[in-house]
């Protein structure tokens, strides 16, 4: 039974906009990241996760600005990923007010970056972001560049290696489930959580409040990343928290001010 199960709002960013896709593709503009982030903070979200989905140099600069202005009125932890390729990129994002960086593509290209970030800022700061596509019923392949590029790496093996190299947390996105509202990929979660000792964030597929209970109970996840369900106002963070609590999941007690 997890204690302190976390409810995380995931904001995918392209340029100045909050966007949402399906299978990380077919991106639609949702609106202003600042407005949505503040709404989730006021609803009592446990953390925010910003992912730059074009990961260009320009995009990243935008992202630092978005994070810097969020830090003015949002006082919960922020994880930022997308386009972080070096220690210097990590420094820029952390200086803008982020607490952790999420690294995917650059970690695959240069796994030493995981160790370098963990040594410099502590492993709690280094989130390994893994985009997983199912290849057989019990095997998943690591993808990079928002589910576009194959790597040939096995997800479970890569997760284990990432933890050995210093990752303090894993953001595990099922590309197959992402944006589909059909629930998290429980088999994928279970395969990874059974093999690693660090917290795992389930991402991709949250359709209903009960999906987070399944991610925790059946998948062994420590947190869920939610996007579509919040962006389209199908539920508030408070609704989801109340549901999780009613299901006796250990979530933070939060009373709206």
Report the interface residues with other proteins, using CB under 8 A.
3-4, 6, 41, 44, 46, 68, 71-73, 75-77, 94-99, 120-125, 168-169, 197-199, 222-223, 252-254, 257
Which alpha helices (DSSP H) does the chain contain, by range? 33-42, 57-73, 87-95, 105-109, 112-121, 155-165, 186-193, 210-217, 228-231, 237-246
Catalytic residue among 46, 47, 52, 131: 131
Q: How far is the CB of 229 from other proteins (least distance, A)?
A: 20
Question: CB-wise, 190 or 234, nearer to other proteins?
Answer: 190
Residues 197, 224: Cα–Cα separation, whole Å: 17
What value, to the nearest 5°, has the Cα angle with vertex 167 and ends 162 and 168?
140
- Rg (Cα) of the chain, in Å, rounded? 16
Residue 47 φ/ψ, nearest 5 degrees: -155, 160
Asked if residues 50 and 13 have their Cβ atoms less than 8 Å apart, the reply is: yes
Residues 98, 118: Cα–Cα separation, whole Å: 15
Q: How far is the CB of 132 from other proteins (least distance, A)?
A: 21
Question: CB-wise, 125 or 235, nearer to other proteins?
Answer: 125
Q: Would you call 176 a catalytic residue per the annotation?
A: no
Q: How far is the CB of 46 from other proteins (least distance, A)?
A: 6
Asked if residues 163 and 170 have their Cβ atoms less than 8 Å apart, the reply is: yes
Residues 99, 173: Cα–Cα separation, whole Å: 20
Q: Would you call 131 a catalytic residue per the annotation?
A: yes
Question: CB-wise, 233 or 253, nearer to other proteins?
Answer: 253
Q: How far is the CB of 76 from other proteins (least distance, A)?
A: 6
Question: CB-wise, 95 or 148, nearer to other proteins?
Answer: 95
Catalytic residues: 12, 131
């Amino acid at each position: 039974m997890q204690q302190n199960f976390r409810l995380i709002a995931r904001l995918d960013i392209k340029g100045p906009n909050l966007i949402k896709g399906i299978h990380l593709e077919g991106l639609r503009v949702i609106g202003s990241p600042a407005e949505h982030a503040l709404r989730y903070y006021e609803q009592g979200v446990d953390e925010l996760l910003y992912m730059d989905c074009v990961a260009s140099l320009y995009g990243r600069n935008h992202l630092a600005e978005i994070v810097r202005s969020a830090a003015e009125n949002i006082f919960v932890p922020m994880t930022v990923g997308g386009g972080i390729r070096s220690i210097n990129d990590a420094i820029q994002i952390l200086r803008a007010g982020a607490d952790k960086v999420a690294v995917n593509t650059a970690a695959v290209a240069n796994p030493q970056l995981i160790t370098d970030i963990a040594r410099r800022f502590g492993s709690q700061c280094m989130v390994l972001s893994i985009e997983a596509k199912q290849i057989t019923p019990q095997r998943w392949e690591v993808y990079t560049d928002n589910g576009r590029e194959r790597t040939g790496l096995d997800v479970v093996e890569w997760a284990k290696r990432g933890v050995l190299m210093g990752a303090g947390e894993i953001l595990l996105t099922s590309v197959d489930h992402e944006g589909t509202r059909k629930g998290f990929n429980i088999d994928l979660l279970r395969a990874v959580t059974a093999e690693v000792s660090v917290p795992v964030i389930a991402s991709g597929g949250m359709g209903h409040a009960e999906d987070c209970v399944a991610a925790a109970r059946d998948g062994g996840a420590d947190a869920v990343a939610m996007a579509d369900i919040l962006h389209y106002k199908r539920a508030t963070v408070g609704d989801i928290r109340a549901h999780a609590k009613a299901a006796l999941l250990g979530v933070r007690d939060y009373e709206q001010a």
